[in-house]
């Protein structure tokens, strides 16, 4: 539970008499979260920040987070001069953080390290694979046919992202079946690591219409024709896709499907991916 810190508190020592402190909330890790909302002169902010840090140190606080909306960018320099550094940024705000404890080592968590993506295997009853050619990126102009891929949006479940991406790129409606596997790579988008989940999908419609913005071409391709591509025949990621696809279609490979679960500590719901068949038989 967050506890509000009174912004009208007075610090009467170290030259901060009658200074109005910054308003913040205690977090769960003995830190303080300050959400700046109202415009403030940078000099006034600097004085208030110094006084607030002095008080928070006496209270045993460890880290201080300052969330600055883009409209208060004038306060960034003052915060940085007091020891704050950038933690992460979103389109409408910048998050700054500073470890103020002088007796303990910083435990401030790093910003998110991974981006999550999906690859969608969609095969019809004619043993044709839904494939696309991209208009941009590394594969632009190479004539390579690949499965639809995309990035999971913030707050979006993996299986919903797979349905959305296939629809956006090809106009094909699909039903999520299961996750067949995933790949982890590093130093990808802005030096972040990358997780790509390979999803098996069941087509619900069949009339392909490519997305004009990102997709050069899209179609149903006989699976044997897809696997005959030089890049697919070579050992690597594309070969892994075909191998696991065959294991699913022609074998008894079982992937992971989502089960809705509730947190043990809150009422928050989430999805736990597991092998339903083997878990139910055990």
C-alpha to C-alpha distances, 25 to 33, 95, 251, nearest whole angstrom = 5, 15, 55
Give dist(CA 264, CA 123) in Å, integer: 38
Q: Which residues contact 71 (CB under 8 A, 6 or more apart)?
A: 39
Q: What is the pTM of this model?
A: 0.83
Positive or negative, the CA dihedral 214, 220, 223, 227 is negative
Residue 16 is predicted with a pLDDT of 52
* pLDDT above 70: percentage of residues in the chain: 92
CA atoms within 13 A on the CB side of 174: 31
- Give the pLDDT band of residue 277 (cuts 50, 70, 90): confident
Residue 281 is predicted with a pLDDT of 56
Residue 272 is predicted with a pLDDT of 94
Residue 13 is predicted with a pLDDT of 45
Mean pLDDT of 159-184: 97
Residue 4 is predicted with a pLDDT of 37
Give dist(CA 86, CA 106) in Å, integer: 15
Give dist(CA 5, CA 211) in Å, integer: 51
For the cut 60, the answer to whether the pLDDT of residue 181 exceeds it is: yes
- Give the pLDDT band of residue 255 (cuts 50, 70, 90): very high
Residue 279 is predicted with a pLDDT of 67
Mean pLDDT of 209-232: 95
Q: Beta partners for 176?
A: 201
Mean pLDDT of the chain: 90
Mean pLDDT of 157-168: 98
Choice between 264 and 261, residue whose per-residue pLDDT is larger: 261
User: How confident is the model over 21-71, as pLDDT tens digits?
Assistant: 999 999 888 999 999 999 999 999 999 999 999 999 999 999 999 999 999
Residue 9 is predicted with a pLDDT of 45
Q: Which residues contact 131 (CB under 8 A, 6 or more apart)?
A: 145, 146, 147, 218, 219, 220, 221, 226
Residue 20 is predicted with a pLDDT of 86
Residue 15 is predicted with a pLDDT of 54
For the cut 70, the answer to whether the pLDDT of residue 14 exceeds it is: no
Choice between 14 and 106, residue whose per-residue pLDDT is larger: 106
Mean pLDDT of 138-145: 91
For the cut 90, the answer to whether the pLDDT of residue 144 exceeds it is: yes
Closest CA to 26 of 3, 49, 60: 3
For the cut 50, the answer to whether the pLDDT of residue 11 exceeds it is: no
Residue 5 is predicted with a pLDDT of 40
Q: What structural domains does the chain harbor?
A: 4-99 (3.40.630.30), 114-259 (3.90.79.10)
Structural tokens at position 60: 């045993």
């Amino acid at each position: 539970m967050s506890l509000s810190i009174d912004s009208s508190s007075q610090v009467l020592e170290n030259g901060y008499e009658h200074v109005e402190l910054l308003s913040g909330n205690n977090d769960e890790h003995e830190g303080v979260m300050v959400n700046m909302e109202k415009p403030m002169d940078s000099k006034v902010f600097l004085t208030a920040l110094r006084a607030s840090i002095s008080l928070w140190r006496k209270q045993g606080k460890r880290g201080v987070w300052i969330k600055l909306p883009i409209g208060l960018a004038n306060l960034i320099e003052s915060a940085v001069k007091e020891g704050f550094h950038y933690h992460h940024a979103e389109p409408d705000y910048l998050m700054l953080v500073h470890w103020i404890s002088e007796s303990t080592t910083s435990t401030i968590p790093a910003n998110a390290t991974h981006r999550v993506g999906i690859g969608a295997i969609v095969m019809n009853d004619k043993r044709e694979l839904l494939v696309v050619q991209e208009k941009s990126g590394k594969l632009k102009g190479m004539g390579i046919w690949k499965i639809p891929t995309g990035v999971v949006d913030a707050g979006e479940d993996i299986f919903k992202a797979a349905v959305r991406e296939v629809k956006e790129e090809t106009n094909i409606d699909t039903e999520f079946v299961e996750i067949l596997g995933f790949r982890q790579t590093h130093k990808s988008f802005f030096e972040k690591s990358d997780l790509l989940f390979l999803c098996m999908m069941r087509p619900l419609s069949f009339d392909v219409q490519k997305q004009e913005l990102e997709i050069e071409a899209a179609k149903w391709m006989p699976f044997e024709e897809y696997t005959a591509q030089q890049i697919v025949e070579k050992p690597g990621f594309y070969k892994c896709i075909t191998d696991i696809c065959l294991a699913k279609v022609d074998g008894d490979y079982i992937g992971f499907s989502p089960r809705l679960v509730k947190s043990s500590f809150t009422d928050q719901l989430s999805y736990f991916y597991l092998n339903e068949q083997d878990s139910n038989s055990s």
